[in-house]
Structure 1
């Protein structure tokens, strides 16, 4: 919800952090000067300090302030708040009626997000810092961990976020307006990077964990068979994880059992003899997400005691406090071999097959002996 002041539940910060954040939010940060002869209007947002140590289920605020650095007053301004997957706005009943809320689904390049856009139909003077009279309260979801808020100011129409967003839904709480902050230092005239908009980002780090785990497999077959292998990577949550830049969300290395050859592999890279590296495509893994990696293995020969593995690798995981499920075995039972690689030969049938073979040989030997005795007796007669 929008709140007049942060209050005791808004953020678990120190008093010094709150003071610094407020000063940064209300004072605008100079940007690269525009050309001196550019007559276009301009707006400059103040920077927002990182938000650290928030708890799932709590709410916090990002104090937003901006300056009209153009030469003429503005008649309308929009403020937008883009919230990453682990964050959300509060209930629509607590969202002002001059704000709208919408959702943006996940695409290949970005995870899903939510957006709150507020319209201020009022005069905005030049050279003055403005802030909403009540700042937006943002809720920390159970899945929050490494999140961010992107705040934008726009003077050129409703800033639709892109394709495939939901229909904007207006809030029902009383409308809020922009108020002047005469004690704040405005951004210099002509310092806007763009004529009609500006944006800034704030990182949000929650106190949370995410359990990445892997699952191996147990295979059965005979020499010469081709058998399917599927291993699984799961984020058991509760948090989602988004990495920086092009870093994959999670990675694993698979070591195949000795005596096998991979004849089909859809999505992993070979890393030496019998070793394959796999990972998530994007740089994020949502809570509850599963990735299955499939192979076709040809059993070339039976190797007693041979065993493969699947293991988490890649970037560090300080959020993952459960380590016993970071590695799993790939077991292969070969029928008719010298023993099963998993150490459990009864499951292959070999334990019963060998006694039967011995019995058959004994019966055959007994039959041959009886035949010879009968021939000798007949010859004597």
Structure 2
């Protein structure tokens, strides 16, 4: 199963605001207890014991279709609950359909390790009895977008609203009729829940679409005179129709760039490492590439001499990519025309492919850059994430970065005192932050 940061994190808690008067009162109480030699007892917390039903991976869905979302959970605690929330986070190849009015959709742009994604949080303001099992009376649905491939669905049940995370770009309340929970037979199978977090439970499952993506190497044709330094931009594109997301931390693809003979690399791409004379292995900074997106590695080459028949290449690694059925464009030529040397050193009639439109170069210290295509719009107003831009890649290794020719690939008391000293005029605001594993 593909793993992403939002697949692994616990749900977020709501913002808490505490006034100085409240803090001061608490501090006075603590100081009084300290004077008496007493230690305040911990507040009793009755676990709610929320637990989801098991979720099953969703395989082989067609782009353009829709899928019903699961929603069964149990209150395994000893007390009734006044309210619960169900949240559904989906990756960018999926989109929430029109939501009920008791649900809010959050569109989150790409940040850190996350590509763009969407979360729908539904509030159920009704009694959830202890020992009972529930599900929404009408299942929610999500659309499978045209660029869907390796997707994720994360479901969360909690006693608090877990939406509005960092990176939220848009918030939309549903407009459909409100949906309520309906009670199911008490013997409906559910998971055991987790004693470490009885107020929430979450699980992620993969959603795999029956789709393809064509990764294409982008070659180049260079021109200059002996002694000139020229720019080389090369890499690969995703011709679609699907975007590609690999497992967390793994690149979608690696490429081997071999320079034309008679040239010296004076400045390599920051995402590439020299593996042999004139040969560089390059990684993708992010672990996804959007449909119609491009990954570009930028080098500077000095033309030392004209070498007849010399040519370089850019080649995708041979890793298994079952979604990519066209292997013929996994390699492309890097040709060099040296003025005064009788034309292209790549041979007559040979033309190198050029980078796709919208390619963004990355030079020197910056790594290979991934640029997405236009934003994709989901059903019923759900909008696909913004274009993903790769961050800095790994630095080039090796002593002398210049290489010539082409070669083979190879703690509460203190707080109380501080609050008393601060006075009743201060306000302490505890800002919600993302909880991460």
Query: Normalised by the shorter chain, which TM-score bucket?
Result: 0.7 to 0.9
* Cα distance in 2 for residues equivalent to 1:337 and 1:118: 70
Paired residues of 1:253 and 1:278 also in contact (CA < 8 A): yes
Paired residues of 1:69 and 1:188 also in contact (CA < 8 A): no
| Match status 1:215 vs 2:222 | no
- Residue 432 of structure 2 is matched in structure 1 by none
TM-score, scaled relative to structure 1: 0.76
2:326 corresponds, among 314, 322, 325, to: 322
2:254 corresponds, among 234, 251, 260, to: 251
| Match status 1:115 vs 2:122 | no
Q: How many pairs are equivalent? A: 306
1:128 corresponds, among 126, 132, 141, to: 132
Structure 1 residues without counterparts, runs of 5 or longer: 1-36, 348-381
* Cα distance in 2 for residues equivalent to 1:224 and 1:67: 73
**Could you say which structure has the higher helix fraction?**
1
* Cα distance in 2 for residues equivalent to 1:190 and 1:238: 39
Which piece of structure 1 moves more, 46-55 or 159-168?
159-168
Q: CA deviation at 1:187?
A: 5.1
Secondary structure, in 3 states, of the residue corresponding to 1:166? Answer: strand
Output one character per residue of 1:279-304: Cα deviation in whole Å (capped at 9) or x when no partner: 32111111111122111111222221
Q: Label 1:314 to 1:38 Cα distance change in 2 as closer, same or farther (>3 A).
A: farther
Structure 2 residues without counterparts, runs of 5 or longer: 1-43, 352-437
Paired residues of 1:209 and 1:237 also in contact (CA < 8 A): yes
- Residue 30 of structure 1 is matched in structure 2 by none
Which piece of structure 1 moves more, 140-149 or 55-64?
55-64
| Match status 1:309 vs 2:316 | no
TM-score, scaled relative to structure 2: 0.66
Q: CA deviation at 1:195?
A: 2.5
Within 5 Å, give how 1:118-267 maps onto structure 2.
118-155=122-159, 157-182=160-185, 184-185=187-188, 191-267=194-270
Q: CA deviation at 1:266?
A: 2.8
* Cα distance in 2 for residues equivalent to 1:55 and 1:340: 47
- Residue 93 of structure 2 is matched in structure 1 by 86
Q: Which of 1 and 2 has higher RCO (CA within 8 Å, sep 6+)?
A: 2
* Cα distance in 1 for residues equivalent to 2:184 and 2:120: 23
Within 5 Å, give how 1:253-292 maps onto structure 2.
253-267=256-270, 268-292=272-296
- Residue 38 of structure 2 is matched in structure 1 by none
* Cα distance in 1 for residues equivalent to 2:117 and 2:202: 16
